[in-house]
Amino acid sequence: MRFLIAFVAIIGYASAGAILSHLAYGVNPGDAQAAAIDATVAAQDTARAINEGHARAAEAVVQHNTEAVRQAAEASREIHETAYWNGVAATQNAVAAAQSHSAAVSGAAAAVRAAHLASPLVTAPYGIAAPYGIAAPYTAYGAYGVAPYGLGVHAW
């Protein structure tokens, strides 16, 4: 914009000089008209070039901003995708841990059942079942360790 103002000032100075020189030297009116046309065309070309430069600069800014927005959106998408898959992995790990604990408890219960069925059991005196409701097989209270009132070996 400063260049345009300076250019117009120079053209004005040159025009004033041309007008004054006509008075002093007596220039041909055709030459003065041609000089005015040349100055007008030069000013229009300069203004057009400045406007084209502004348009190119504005286009470059728009392209730069568009690229910056695209990169920010891509980075955000990658962050959210990573967070999503980390959540999926954490959920799968929690399910696997719960299944491992369930299997461990089931294994421990099976081991306890097997130990109770395989070990020699003793019935407490006076018709009371041994601790934990387990009685020995073939006791005085019946076959297979069944004690009175449903006390005895449980199938759990």
- Looking at the structure, do residues 127 and 68 belong to the same domain, yes or no? no
Given this model, what pLDDT does residue 52 score?
Answer: 96
Instruction: Convert the pLDDT of each residue in 74-125 to its tens digit.
Output: 999 999 999 999 999 999 999 999 999 998 988 888 888 887 776 655 444 4
User: Residue 156 — very low, low, confident or very high, per pLDDT cuts 50/70/90?
Assistant: very low
Q: What is the mean pLDDT of residues 136-146?
A: 46
**Which is higher by pLDDT, 147 or 102?**
102
Checking if the pLDDT of 53 tops 90, the result is yes
Assess if residue 115 is contained within a domain: no
- Looking at the structure, do residues 83 and 11 belong to the same domain, yes or no? yes
- Looking at the structure, do residues 84 and 23 belong to the same domain, yes or no? yes
- Looking at the structure, do residues 58 and 133 belong to the same domain, yes or no? no
- Looking at the structure, do residues 28 and 65 belong to the same domain, yes or no? yes
- Looking at the structure, do residues 84 and 18 belong to the same domain, yes or no? yes
Number of compact structural domains in the chain: 2
Assess if residue 111 is contained within a domain: no
**Which is higher by pLDDT, 92 or 127?**
92
- Which residue range(s) make up the domain with 47? 2-106
Q: Residue by residue, what is the 3-state secondary structure of the chain?
A: CHHHHHHHHHHHHHHHHHHHHHHHHCCCHHHHHHHHHHHHHHHHHHHHHHHHHHHHHHHHHHHHHHHHHHHHHHHHHHHHHHHHHHHHHHHHHHHHHHHHHHHHHHHHHHHHHHHHHHCCCCCCHHHCCEHHHECCCCECCEHHHECHHHCECCCC
- Looking at the structure, do residues 68 and 126 belong to the same domain, yes or no? no
- Looking at the structure, do residues 98 and 126 belong to the same domain, yes or no? no
- Looking at the structure, do residues 140 and 102 belong to the same domain, yes or no? no
Instruction: Convert the pLDDT of each residue in 14-52 to its tens digit.
Output: 565 555 555 556 678 888 889 999 999 999 999 999 999
